[in-house]
Amino acid sequence: MTSKRVLPAEWAPQSAIMLTWPHPGTDWSGILDDVEPVFLEIATAVLARENLIVSCEHVARLQELERELSAYARERQLPGRVIAVPAPANDTWARDHGPITVTTDSGPLLLNFRFNAWGGKFPWEKDDALNQHLCNAGSFGTTPMANVDFVLEGGSIESDGAGTLLTTSECLLTPSRNATLDRGAIENLLGETLGAERILWLNHGYLAGDDTDSHIDTLARFCSEDQLCYVACPDVADEHYSALAAMEEELQQFRQADGRPYRLTPLPWPDAIHDDDGHRLPATYANFLIINGAVLVPTYDVPQDQQALDILQGLFPDRDIVPINCRPLIRQHGSLHCVTMQIPAGVVTL
């Protein structure tokens, strides 16, 4: 008899958060002084509530981090512990190269999908091998890991924890990822590997400056089994208006497994932020991270930050809302959720 698989919702209990630390060999090299404080803020917020798995190619920096963060946790008697692993990495987007964990009748199972940097846009070989390095180092305890010959990034899927996945056709159906598979074959594979019983496909929605081909975690998120939040653009003159209005209509048409419509909450639209060359950067409040007892929310030093925090507090009334200034992160076209990957309860036991 086949063991039933479930992809837990992000709000399910967690044992750890994974971070892949920036180092001089990454595209962060010129702005490490700006971006490392963001990673440190994420790391300390995590340690206040759960364990932290951190890897870095730069071994000396990793040893420093392990000392600093472990001392921080000890001095404050925090529940989290630091698991530090030296490992090569091309970049820092743990959401997309990290393992995706399902629960089964016999316990948690780590799935090591292939990673090819969003369809071969950037170097990816080190990132694709990272999960095996972590597993070999014992970072995941005795939890087994299975390789899956399919390109899939964690940022491209959202789970309600009850068999429904939310995704975008722009990403999952892009030929540069899995050229030989059509939509039906991909749905079957997600059913087999992740236990998906229903897949909700968004065909509209994008963010300028996004390298991922419209990852769902920049656009729309499950907040509970019956609640979705999503980015909404009220400015008819904005280049995003038509696509996001069409996405909103799609969300309104979606139904839960029992046939009821979802409760929908629009998120604020932040003022446009551009890089030094005038290119728009993908600032989005949908890129929050749910951890044990809290939600870490990206902010961008714009007037809409407080409104976003207030809305998310309403959506997660029993969790602390922790703002993290992610303006440095979006300079490399990602945000808070993109640099993290949650590891469910039962995997890391210290």
Give the amino acid at 259: G
Give the Cβ contact number of residue 136 at 10 Å: 11
Is 326 designated active site? no
The residues, any chain, with a CB within 8 Å of residue 347's CB and separated by 6 or more, are 15, 16, 101, 108, 110, 140, 141, 143
Q: Which of 135, 171, 233, 338 is catalytic?
A: 338
Asked whether 20 and 97 are in contact (CB, 8 A), the reply is yes
Closest CA to 139 of 41, 47, 51: 51
- The strand pair at 263-267 and 289-291 is best described as unpaired
Q: CA–CA separation, 201 vs 199, rounded Å?
A: 6
Cβ–Cβ < 8 Å for 215, 168: yes
Question: Which neighbouring-strand residues pair with 98?
Answer: none
Q: What is the set of active-site residues?
A: 338
